[in-house]
Structure 1
Amino acid sequence: MDFQQIAGNIERLLKSRVPDGYEIMLGASRNLSIEVKDQQVDTFKCSEPVGVSVRVLKAHGMGFSFSTSMDDADLVRMIDNAVIGAETQTPDEFNGFPPPQSYLDVSGMFDAGLAAVGEEEKIGRALELERLTLAEDSRVKRVRKSTYGESSYEVFIRNSLGVEGSYRGTSVSSSISAVAEENGDSQMGWDFGFSNRFSGVDVALIARTAAVKATGLLGARNIPTLRCPALLDNYVATEILEVLASSFLAENVQKGKSLLAGKTGERLFAGCLRIVDDGLLPGGMATTPFDGEGVPMQRTLLVEGGVLQGLLYNSYCARKDGVASTGNATRSGVKSPPHMGVSNFFIENGLTPFAELLKGIDQGVLVTSVMGMHTANPISGDFSVGAAGFFIENGVVAYPIKGIAIAGNILDLFRDVDGIADDLRFFGAVGSPALRIAALDVSGE
């Protein structure tokens, strides 16, 4: 499909409406999703969506509309809807589009060989993942779901100020949920892998990790309530960081919905923490040359030495604060206008091996799962959630524990970090290494 030709046709249709500015975004993808169970294909889904959207600026009003058809009649209808939206919206002086800028060449986003891999081989990957997981440990009795997924996509953007850019990429993933049973106890373990390339996903590692997670919690015990040092594995640390992420968005700060409002330049975190948003991170799930408005992606240092260095911006919020956009306008596809979001958002890797963080803890907890972290208050930072993991005694993991809850404040928790492991891992677009917390309230029996 010739995106430039379609964009030119839309521009021709737009100009008769005399807008003050416009933006055209086109996207196309091919998506495949496979699920297997008991060595049989349970689900096989393939889709090839194509779409276009426009944003129209008129008298400081911004209108938006989209179409999944490229027929002229449907494109005219899309433009009419966007123009009506612009004319009826309350004018806002900060509405507008970014000027043209240059983009870096981001390598590694596209696997040209993916299309040549046959569907049987892709199904075989999901089947192999299930087989390997069941073979990993005799206590792994069944698999709830073993999956393979992929997407090949292309994006094009152009605006009336001269912005024009395009990119294409591929993503490949596999995941599994395994159930382990022993002595009447049942526990579940999950893991996944992601890469831009078909060869980049290690199903043997996914199988081993899921099996270890499931079997590791068998025979979990209860513990009494205590305040003690805590080690958050990289998955739990990422879940908590994800709640904090929204507070770095300038939109939430401007609306008074961020616990970081008015605190730029203050030391709010442990001095060992560096928090970064990097839209150009090699191999990142959110890596692209430009954001949802055509602003170049960049690496933004947000926390260094425990001090809040700045915030994340899209063009609209940047105009409000008189600063430059950090390239943090994101899109969910052509069916929605750009909104604020993180790109590859993470705590930088530490230098300490995970096992070393256990040393010196006479009594503490290793938290490997939390339930309901999404219920944490993103404005106050307060949280109280169920958790599970392991009890630490004399610097070693002693036994699995269950039925606990952890509570506190997210800012206090990140201020009390006194150790960072060297095992940074991303779970989606957010990632963290394991973190050791000096003291945490743990509710037990």
Structure 2
Amino acid sequence: MNTNEMIETVATLLKDRPLDGWEVAAATSRLLSIEVKEQKVDTFKCSAPGGVSIRVLKNGGMGFSYSTSMEPADLARMVENALVGAGAQTPDEHHAFPEPRPGSEIPGLYDEGLAAVPEAEKVARAMELERLVMAADPRVKRVRKCSFGESTVETRIVNSRGVDATCRGTSVSASVSAIAEESGNSQMGWDFDFANHFTDLSVDRIATRAVAKAVGLLGAAKIPTMRCPAVLDNYVATEILEVLASAFLAESVQKGKSLLVGKKGTRIVSPLLRIRDDGTLPGGMGTAPFDAEGVPKQNTILVEDGVLRGYLYDTLRARKDGVASTGNASRGGIKSPPHMGVSNLFIENGTVPFDDLMAGIGRGILLTDVMGMHTANPISGDFSVGAAGFLIEEGKVTVPVKGIAISGNILELFQGVEGVGNDLRLYGTVGAPSLRIAALDVSGE
């Protein structure tokens, strides 16, 4: 059964019910996952999950249920379960379904030719990635994990207020972990890439970056504790921004679980920083024409020249604040109800070439990896994590360093930004360019 048949079947079941509103979301998909090891296929998984979910509104209660079976008895049971859920919930006058809003077409989301690419060619792409990594440098001794994945998804969302949104999308990705060894020292370098079209996925680029990370840290030394200028490469800057991501969600703000509560209109970070969430970004992993409620995604400026301009909203949270949804309802799949999430959240690209960020630093640190950034406190912004990178001396990268820790507060760290690189990269749905920080506490020996 395709998404249109699913929607029509379930909508018919709902139309005769005494409800205050309803929503039906249907999705079909095809997923492929390949892992290779030593030029042999290690795992090959193919699946085609699909299903339908509903939300029903009755007397201020919102009920949710889903079904992966299209049997009439199972669909009837799904409707009953959602009605029970609506009755059991604490009523909230702000529960509602969105009205239709004009959105714009986003080209390039669907690769018409992906289904015709032979599976042998996809396996070959993963093997080529492994081969490129092993051939790049004699110090690379093995590949821990080399994978290729793809997904093709079709989604349709219809509600009782007239929303009817359909989208088809494809995505392909590849990743690799390279292990480099020298003089009894071992280091790992990981990298990945993502594209909507098969031909746009570059395994050369992934291999080059993963190997550079692995061999770059060989022979890493320990350094004494110091407070010094620091350059965060775009990966580390992204990891730190990711901790801040939930603070921009209106749900976190309204529940008092955000370090940005009450800070709208005030300067929260360096005036050099602009942060936005763009659900329409070409080639973004979080790009789509509409969100999990059928509201058009949009490009929302969150921080402008260091000043907090606003938050991200879904329908419920927008109604609580008397504003419009920013199209930030997201869904982990047909089995979960919509929740708040970012689309493509990033610090805007700057103009400073990467090497120039280090100019004038007599002694400092270039951070290329942080361990355990997810342990940072998203409410206070405090963090203390392990890190690795390189020493900067007289404006130049000199020796690799390991066994260090960095600590501080995320907002204070971003307040200390005095240079923004021109190398913006998104790692998943969050991204940043490299950043130069005036001073950072680095714990060493």
Structure-1 separation of matches of 2:120 and 2:274: 44
Measured against aligned partners, the alpha-carbon deviations of 1:246-298 in whole angstroms (never above 9, x if no partner) come to: 00000000000000000000011101101000000001001000100011100
- Give how far 1:163 is off: 0.4
Kindly, what percent of the aligned residue pairs are identical?
65
Structure-2 separation of matches of 1:337 and 1:433: 33
TM-score, normalised to structure 2, is 0.99
Superposition map of 1:51-62 within 5 A: 51-62=51-62
Superposition map of 1:213-224 within 5 A: 213-224=213-224
**1:443 pairs with 2:424:** no
Superposition map of 1:319-334 within 5 A: 319-334=319-334
Structure-1 separation of matches of 2:253 and 2:384: 24
Structure-2 separation of matches of 1:203 and 1:259: 39
Structure-2 separation of matches of 1:111 and 1:337: 28
Which deviates further from its counterpart, 430-439 or 11-20?
A: 11-20
Counterpart in the other structure of 1:100: 100
Counterpart in the other structure of 2:269: 269
Structure-2 separation of matches of 1:194 and 1:89: 40
Counterpart in the other structure of 1:335: 335
- Give how far 1:103 is off: 2.0
Superposition map of 1:127-142 within 5 A: 127-142=127-142
- Give how far 1:100 is off: 1.1
Measured against aligned partners, the alpha-carbon deviations of 1:370-392 in whole angstroms (never above 9, x if no partner) come to: 11100000000000000000000
Equivalent AA in structure 2 for residue 313 of structure 1: Y
- Give how far 1:17 is off: 2.4
Structure-2 separation of matches of 1:26 and 1:2: 9
Superposition map of 1:170-319 within 5 A: 170-319=170-319
Residues 6 and 52 of structure 2 are in contact (CA less than 8 Å); yes or no, is this contact kept in structure 1? no
- Structure 2 unmatched runs, 5+: none
- Give how far 1:10 is off: 1.1
- Give how far 1:73 is off: 0.9
Equivalent AA in structure 2 for residue 331 of structure 1: R
TM-score, normalised to structure 1, is 0.99
Structure-1 separation of matches of 2:221 and 2:368: 15
SS across alignment from 1:423: coil
- Structure 1 unmatched runs, 5+: none
Equivalent AA in structure 2 for residue 291 of structure 1: D
Superposition map of 1:78-157 within 5 A: 78-157=78-157
Superposition map of 1:352-391 within 5 A: 352-391=352-391
- Give how far 1:316 is off: 0.3
Equivalent AA in structure 2 for residue 329 of structure 1: A
SS across alignment from 2:210: helix
Equivalent AA in structure 2 for residue 177 of structure 1: S
Which deviates further from its counterpart, 181-190 or 96-105?
A: 96-105
Aligned residues: 445
Structure-2 separation of matches of 1:394 and 1:7: 64
- Give how far 1:3 is off: 2.3
Runs of 4+, deviation exceeding 2 Å: 1-6
- Give how far 1:2 is off: 3.6
